[in-house]
Amino acid sequence: MPERRIAHKSFLLIGWWACLGLTIFLAAFPINVGLIRLALVTAMPVLAAGACVLLWSRKWLRWLPAILLVTPIGVLLAPGRGHDAENLRRRYVTALRRYEGTRYVWGGENRFGIDCSGLVRRGLIDANLHEGIATLNPGRIRAAARLWWYDCSARALKDGYRNWTRLLFTAPAINDIVPDRLLPGDIAVTSNGVHVLVYLGENQWMQADPGPGKVVRQSVPVETGRWFGTPVHLLRWGQLDDRDLE
């Protein structure tokens, strides 16, 4: 009988480590699709339950995994409050700059690979997480979770997906825009909806450009840039406006 329990525990331990390894792999995988998001969310309670079982013989540790799981859920459900749009904008620009040089991967949205819409969303996810933790504001953490869960394309951002963005104006080309009309963090989506760039301030733009195959930062005017001479829609994230459109 003891041998059978040991065998069961060994099997459970192997399965738990396999589940953890797969979870880490999926979290690091650059392409974020619905099935991967669902698998990651499902893996959390599975890992916590398995850890509780494995630690059950240790009285002071048996409930620790459950507590570690319930705590962030409690934070997500806690009441949020307003935020400083200007401070969040600064965090957004700082977060975006960290992705400079990241390789271009269609559908990607992390440091192992990112595309144009993934870049502008991932930067805001990071900014919301940092803001939420720094100011103990669950509302910002929930905003980051929504941005992560509801993936969207450049075209969807142009069309105001989930009321996240609002149109500022249209322009015949980024090179023709007067910088005073923009704030750092504003985004430009090509009129055909295939590409999006983000304004960093001081005449600088950032994009995950499939041409050079990486995230690049450029100062306007850009004479040879494919995306700087095409018609664009200029938009602002609701979170970065004085009125939050969430």
Burial of 44 (0-12, 13-18, 19+ CB in 10 A): middle
What pLDDT was estimated at residue 9? 66
What pLDDT was estimated at residue 245? 45
What pLDDT was estimated at residue 47? 81
What pLDDT was estimated at residue 112? 94
pTM of the predicted protein model: 0.88
d(CA 94, CA 246): 22
What pLDDT was estimated at residue 50? 78
CATH of range 85-240; options 3.90.1720.10, 3.10.580.10, 3.30.460.20, 1.10.3720.10: 3.90.1720.10
Measured CA distances, 55 to 61, 62, 71, 200 (Å): 6, 5, 19, 49
Q: Which residues of the chain have pLDDT under 50?
A: 1, 245-246
What pLDDT was estimated at residue 1? 43
Confirm if 188 and 232 have CB atoms less than 8 A apart: yes
Taking Cα atoms as reference points, which of 148, 157, 128, 173 lies closest to residue 235? 157
Sequence spans of domains, the chain:
2-77, 85-240
What pLDDT was estimated at residue 2? 57
What pLDDT was estimated at residue 238? 94
What pLDDT was estimated at residue 179? 87
Give the pairing type, strands 196-201 and 113-114: unpaired
What pLDDT was estimated at residue 228? 93
What pLDDT was estimated at residue 106? 93
Give the pairing type, strands 165-171 and 187-190: unpaired
Confirm if 132 and 144 have CB atoms less than 8 A apart: yes
